[in-house]
Structure formats: C-alpha cells, structure tokens
Amino acid sequence: KARKAEQLGIVNELAVLERKITMVKAYLLKPEDFSPGESYQIEGSEDEFHINYLNGVFAWGFRKSSPEQEEALPISVLKEKGERRG
C-alpha cells in the first residue's frame, strides 16, 4: 500500500502508512533492549535521543538538540550509535 501511495503521489496516505509501519516495528522489538539513561541515534536524523524512561514501546526523554523539551518516540526509530538498521 505504501509503495502504491508513493507511486501515485498520495503524500498524506504515504505518511500515515509509514507511521503505521513504524508502530508495528516498535511492537516487534523488546523494550528491555533499551536502557533509560542511555542515548540512541534517531533513525533518519543526525540527532541523538536520551531516554529518561520507557512506557510500553515508547521511550520518553529528550533530543540532545532540545534538552528542555520532553517527548516520546517509538523504540523502532532508535538505534545504537553507529548501528545501521534495515
């Protein structure tokens, strides 16, 4: 569906489908593989994310570029520094 939406140029549908894929990937990972107090690279970004705590498949913390703003990211977008995930 995502490929078809991309080919047809349906940007909004593509964005929704990509977010669904990200969430499915998060549920396939083990939250215990991610450690509060550690920093991880954000997939598709040069920024790092510091985890304060985990709640289900979401890591709560802050980006190194904006430490004053707490946010939650699905664990599927986090990777070890220098790791490539495909």
pLDDT of residue 51: 98
Residue of 76, 70, 64 lying closest to 26 (CA atoms): 76
CB 51 within 8 A of CB 38: yes
pLDDT of residue 15: 82
Averaged over successive runs of 10 residues, the pLDDT of the chain (86 residues) comes to 76 82 96 97 95 98 96 96 60
Please report, to the nearest 10 degrees, the dihedral formed by the alpha carbons of residues 80, 23, 7, 86 taken in order. Answer: 30
Position 84: which residue type? Answer: R
pLDDT of residue 84: 57
pLDDT of residue 83: 62
What pTM was estimated for this model as a whole?
0.80
pLDDT of residue 39: 97
Give ∠ CA 21-82-80 in degrees, rounded to 5: 55
Range 2-79 has CATH code 3.30.300.30? no
Domain-by-domain residue ranges, the chain?
Answer: 2-79
From CA 57, how far away is CA 13, in angstroms rounded?
24
